[in-house]
Structure 1
Amino acid sequence: MNWTVMPAFDDYEQAREAFAWDLPESFNPAVDFLRKHEDTSRTALRYEGPDGLETYSFDDLDDRSDRLAAALAELGVEPGDRVGVVVPQKPQNPITHLANWKVGAVSVPLTRLFGRDAIQYRLADSEATAVVVDPSVRETVDAVRSECPALEHVIELGNSESVAGAGDEQDGATTHAFADLVSRHEPGFDVHDATPETPSAIMYTSGSTGPPKGVLHSHALWLGRAAAAFNYFDQGLAEGEATLWTPADWAWGAALGGTLFAAWHHGCTVVGWPREGFDPDDVYELMERHGVTKAFMPPTALRMLMGVDDPEAEYDLALETFASAGEPLTSEVVEWVAETFAEVAINDFYGQTELNLVVGNSDTWFETRPGSMGRPLPGYDVRVLDPETLEDVETGEVGELAVRPGDRRVFFDEYWGLPEKTAAKQTDERWFRTGDLVERDADGYLWFVSRADDVILTSGYRVGPMEVEEAILQHPAAEQAGVVGVPDETRGEAIKAFVQPAGDDYEPDTLREEIRDLVRDRLAEYEYPQYVEFVDELPTTTTGKIRRKTLRERDDTH
């Protein structure tokens, strides 16, 4: 396969039969994304920030990432070292990833939505030696430096005039100004000699029974995401012809790999727009200004866009495809797109942090069935297994989705430091277990039923209840807590906390808001409980564990 131009197929069965992974022997994503295109002077990134519009060509990004790579190497960052990236949709986000790979370092994408505990755990667990941070999270990172013993360098966006303490050391880590590091070096960096197996990124995923797990991927990840994006964007990523945008944070896999880097692999333009909140009219105006043709929109964002009447009449849109993921699309969203836009397709897709993007609907190949996950993308086989026996279940019966790639390398390498959990993720025949319960109908469409564990799917994010419970218990008035997901029309699921107070002397409304604020501050904005119910006692197992299933069954929120 030519990894510069993906093959297009008109027929789904032909695609399934003819597609084959053919990864190159030598591969560095920084070279692939920036240097292989026919015209590297074309615009790769249109960044709309507080100071107006900035445009970056592939050459510009190559130049800046070369300079940053030289700076990282001078600071002592070596191949295999981990470097955190806590930057929103700004040019410095991808520039840092590209520089990491040029050095041979492993990126740790993190969202600025994370609070103190979330950032501290991930930086410490990955043993990051350096972290590049947005000014909005500098204070949070400063607060956890002493708890991240491997951390040697904190690099804040800005120059020496705007970055407080530039050049100073605190708790063993020296502060640097991003712009000064870049300006002090020249382009022409000798890029690390890498392959598809070279470690590339550690992405963290929440679990139901323990702390977040670091998912280590090799460079092959980005080729897998690029292939998937080509399909769920209806094979419309011809070099120089598509403009992509997503409201999702570039820390998340589908946004970083399935939108931003997938676009650059194919030679297309990406729009960057760091924002606070989501205003539907502002979003339509942005897509109009930049001629966005392909948009990755989580279902929650699509439902919010539905609040604008007749957007095609109101705005001059170039839209061709919505792609969506995080939860199944309901029929109302699919019907809204069909009724509202004359020639806009909507394709949703399914994947995991560990397993790439493996199932989807494709307007090019077959009819979208609202509510379904779609059918397996080319390059992947799927089975629906009995979770206990690991035998195939009958068509129409519920079982655990298992996936096997045509090339093992496009899936994750390991859970960072967790060999037993890594081994448990796959069967002896190398079928990867998703932990998602599904049904498969007679036509091969898959239908999501539920998680096999307690992970909550809210607004496209996966939230581990245990992490939220632990944050709640930091409040002195909380004796015990149980967190579950409850149905929500906008988010898919909302987070609900059942809290057993430590005593009777509390004011419910005040404590409820204090708990919400505490979780926002320590974890992330999207992880706070929308509902908090106070109870005299929580149901537990004989070993003292919270029975979340019982809490879900007794919930009367809706």
Structure 2
Amino acid sequence: MDLKSLIAPEHFNLASEISKHDSNKIALRWENELGETRTISYAQLITKANKLANGLTKLGLEKGDRVVIMTTRLIESYVIYLACLKAGIVISPTSELLRAKDIVYRLNHSEAKAVISYSELIKEFENISEETPFLQFKIAFGQEVPNWISLEALVENESETFSDVDTLSEDYAFLAYTSGTTGQPKGVVHSHGWGYAHLRIAASKWLNISEEDLVWATASPGWQKWVWSPFLSILGSGATGYIYHGRFNPHKYLRLLQDNKINVLCCTPTEYRMMAKLNDLSSFNLIDLHTAVSAGEALNREVIDVFKNQFNILIRDGYGQTESTLLIANLNTNENKLGSMGQPLLQEFIEVVDENGQPAPINEVGTIAIRSDFPALFKQYYKNPVTTASSYQGQYFLSGDRAMKDEDNYYWFQGRKDDVIISSGYTIGPFEVEDALMKHKAVKECAVVALPDPIRGNVVKAYVVLQEGTLGTAELTKELQGFVKNLTAPYKYPRVIEYIEALPKTDSGKIRRIELRNATIKG
């Protein structure tokens, strides 16, 4: 791929990649658990986004303002994101699973001027007790909410035309938050130009999307993966996106794939694993599915084999990070390499480096690194120049993930250099769980690590030292789990809690997580 083809024009608004498909072709097909359906054409989507962009700017939002968005799998989500891009507003995606504690940090750290939320998700915003000095506007859609601006009323009399704000390719488009091993989540800044490069790397080379395809990417709004695939890759390619607003059920998913004649599927490894465990796979016909991809964590060979043998579909694993785009993927059908991460999509930009930041020898484990001039690399960690600088070594951004490459330049995942936990595709920082646990009166100390799990990849395990006189009972375990669920996103709670007398520590007092991880694996 020619490097020049990945670099956006100097003046570039990412919304133009979607707006160029202004036609009566169906852009999105939506369905819920009750079987209710809706569709919207590209022309209708753009018209609705124009009306909202007008409403937001008249309200007082300007180019560069940050807006926290909490929504779910709805057509309105696409309208809101597109409208914000058109208006030059910086989008901060926020998962519907987050709690007030998580949300207020994002509001204040990003200095968000507004929040836009689905009406059914405003509870945690209402639970915020801390000051939010930068927040001026609270906008809700779906139904009227007291003390919130109605999005429907905001657009009611607005013009159906809007001239996209003149943004530079280097201007901020997204501010996504990603979990780390210590401290609060980091704000990852992506520019409009990042989106330009992402579309030309992930959508065409990995997802293999054409305009004729019906594409189902199951990620939920609030995650960078939703920006990657359901929003940008599908709409930027002029394809039709399928949206299912319902709970995951392996039988239901396979039935939807079959009945809707889905052509391209992007699922999490956990979803694939649970479908592969069904005993009646032969009753489903997925003949229309030409591409199936997986990302978020490593997918085991056994699941790949099940889909290959049953449906003649090769699930192609892909690797990327919030800070970048898809970097490494399986694009061919080399049977000898199944189970590997695949090869770098742009080989000159990706490397395995040693502790000195130099390319590691073949078959030696090192850190996956991305050259600093890669067009789809983040701009910075917001308000965190120290962490931004420390994440680079020489000419490379260090991913923190460990791998080795073989003589054919296939990468083989070896684990994480840091302690971040990936469970069912969710990235979980141990500090966030530990911080919640420490707020419980029974907890004296704690440490959180990943516990391997055949379905979720990993689950959160907490080692807890209790206050003197407190017993580690099954009832207390349930109480601590519920306590964490109420303080932070439910997916972060420790599914396993082990009570110990003391945590292993270094002479300087730092927790020796490696001992806990080793004990967990042997466990």
TM-score grouping bracket, smaller chain normalisation: over 0.9
Number of the residue aligned with 2:116: 132
Per the TM alignment, residue 557 of structure 1 is displaced from its structure 2 partner at its CA by 7.5
Report whether the alignment pairs 1:393 with 2:360: yes
Query: What pairs up with 1:356-435 in 2 under 5 angstroms?
Result: 356-363=325-332, 366=334, 369-378=337-346, 381-387=349-355, 389-404=356-371, 408-429=374-395, 431-435=396-400
1:56-84 CA distances to partner (integer Å, 9 max, x unpaired)?
11111111111111111122111110011
Q: Is the 8 A contact 1:226 1:263 kept in 2?
A: no
Report whether the alignment pairs 1:21 with 2:6: yes
Per the TM alignment, residue 205 of structure 1 is displaced from its structure 2 partner at its CA by 0.8
Cα RMSD between the aligned structures? 2.1
Number of the residue aligned with 1:337: 307
Deviates further, 506-515 or 99-108? 506-515
Kindly provide the amino acid, as one letter, of the partner of residue 290 in structure 1. Answer: N
Q: Is the 8 A contact 2:66 2:111 kept in 1?
A: yes
Per the TM alignment, residue 250 of structure 1 is displaced from its structure 2 partner at its CA by 2.5
Per the TM alignment, residue 368 of structure 1 is displaced from its structure 2 partner at its CA by 6.9
1:370-425 CA distances to partner (integer Å, 9 max, x unpaired)?
321110003752222122x22222111111111126x5442101100001111122
Report whether the alignment pairs 1:355 with 2:324: yes
CA gap of 1:380–1:353, structure 2 versus 1, over 3 A, is farther
Match of 1:29, SS?
coil
Aligned length: 522
Number of the residue aligned with 1:5: none
Q: Is the 8 A contact 1:330 1:370 kept in 2?
A: no
Kindly provide the amino acid, as one letter, of the partner of residue 398 in structure 1. Answer: V
User: TM-score, normalising length from structure 2?
Assistant: 0.95
Match of 1:196, SS?
coil
Kindly provide the amino acid, as one letter, of the partner of residue 128 in structure 2. Answer: V
Matches of 1:368 and 1:474 in 2, distance apart? 50
Q: Is the 8 A contact 1:373 1:447 kept in 2?
A: yes
Q: 1:472 aligns with which of 417, 437, 444?
A: 437
Matches of 1:538 and 1:402 in 2, distance apart? 33
Kindly provide the amino acid, as one letter, of the partner of residue 467 in structure 1. Answer: E
Per the TM alignment, residue 31 of structure 1 is displaced from its structure 2 partner at its CA by 2.1
Per the TM alignment, residue 448 of structure 1 is displaced from its structure 2 partner at its CA by 1.0
Per the TM alignment, residue 317 of structure 1 is displaced from its structure 2 partner at its CA by 5.0
Report whether the alignment pairs 1:531 with 2:496: yes
Query: What pairs up with 1:77-88 in 2 under 5 angstroms?
Result: 77-88=61-72
User: TM-score, normalising length from structure 1?
Assistant: 0.89
Per the TM alignment, residue 134 of structure 1 is displaced from its structure 2 partner at its CA by 1.9
Structure 1 gaps of 5+ residues are: 1-14, 169-174
Per the TM alignment, residue 108 of structure 1 is displaced from its structure 2 partner at its CA by 0.3
Matches of 2:195 and 2:485 in 1, distance apart? 31
Number of the residue aligned with 1:3: none
Q: Is the 8 A contact 2:466 2:472 kept in 1?
A: no
Query: What pairs up with 1:54-203 in 2 under 5 angstroms?
Result: 54-144=38-128, 146-158=130-142, 162-165=143-146, 168=147, 175-203=148-176
Matches of 2:348 and 2:134 in 1, distance apart? 38
Number of the residue aligned with 1:213: 186
Matches of 1:43 and 1:549 in 2, distance apart? 51
Match of 2:245, SS?
coil
Report whether the alignment pairs 1:511 with 2:512: no
Q: Is the 8 A contact 1:485 1:552 kept in 2?
A: yes
Number of the residue aligned with 1:44: 27
CA gap of 1:140–1:234, structure 2 versus 1, over 3 A, is closer
Percent of residue pairs bearing the same amino acid type: 33
1:465-497 CA distances to partner (integer Å, 9 max, x unpaired)?
011100111111111110000211111111100
Q: Is the 8 A contact 2:8 2:197 kept in 1?
A: no
Q: Is the 8 A contact 2:119 2:145 kept in 1?
A: no
CA gap of 1:553–1:30, structure 2 versus 1, over 3 A, is same
Match of 1:410, SS?
coil
Deviates further, 420-429 or 197-206? 420-429
Per the TM alignment, residue 328 of structure 1 is displaced from its structure 2 partner at its CA by 1.8
Match of 2:349, SS?
strand
Q: Is the 8 A contact 1:133 1:155 kept in 2?
A: yes
CA gap of 1:155–1:317, structure 2 versus 1, over 3 A, is farther
Number of the residue aligned with 2:222: 251
Q: Is the 8 A contact 2:104 2:130 kept in 1?
A: no
Matches of 1:316 and 1:297 in 2, distance apart? 15
Matches of 1:360 and 1:502 in 2, distance apart? 48
CA gap of 1:186–1:20, structure 2 versus 1, over 3 A, is closer
Per the TM alignment, residue 527 of structure 1 is displaced from its structure 2 partner at its CA by 0.9
CA gap of 1:214–1:330, structure 2 versus 1, over 3 A, is same
Deviates further, 529-538 or 216-225? 216-225
Matches of 2:225 and 2:421 in 1, distance apart? 18
CA gap of 1:412–1:504, structure 2 versus 1, over 3 A, is same
Report whether the alignment pairs 1:275 with 2:246: yes
Number of the residue aligned with 1:9: none
Matches of 1:321 and 1:345 in 2, distance apart? 8
Q: 1:463 aligns with which of 404, 420, 428?
A: 428
Q: Is the 8 A contact 1:200 1:219 kept in 2?
A: yes
Per the TM alignment, residue 232 of structure 1 is displaced from its structure 2 partner at its CA by 5.0
Q: 2:298 aligns with which of 304, 314, 328?
A: 328
Kindly provide the amino acid, as one letter, of the partner of residue 341 in structure 2. Answer: M
Number of the residue aligned with 1:497: 462
Match of 1:555, SS?
helix
Q: Is the 8 A contact 1:90 1:274 kept in 2?
A: yes
Number of the residue aligned with 1:295: 265
Per the TM alignment, residue 142 of structure 1 is displaced from its structure 2 partner at its CA by 1.4
Match of 1:494, SS?
strand
Q: Is the 8 A contact 2:269 2:297 kept in 1?
A: yes
Q: Is the 8 A contact 1:116 1:521 kept in 2?
A: no
Q: 1:545 aligns with which of 496, 510, 517?
A: 510
Matches of 1:106 and 1:379 in 2, distance apart? 31
Match of 1:144, SS?
coil
Per the TM alignment, residue 147 of structure 1 is displaced from its structure 2 partner at its CA by 3.0
Per the TM alignment, residue 210 of structure 1 is displaced from its structure 2 partner at its CA by 1.5
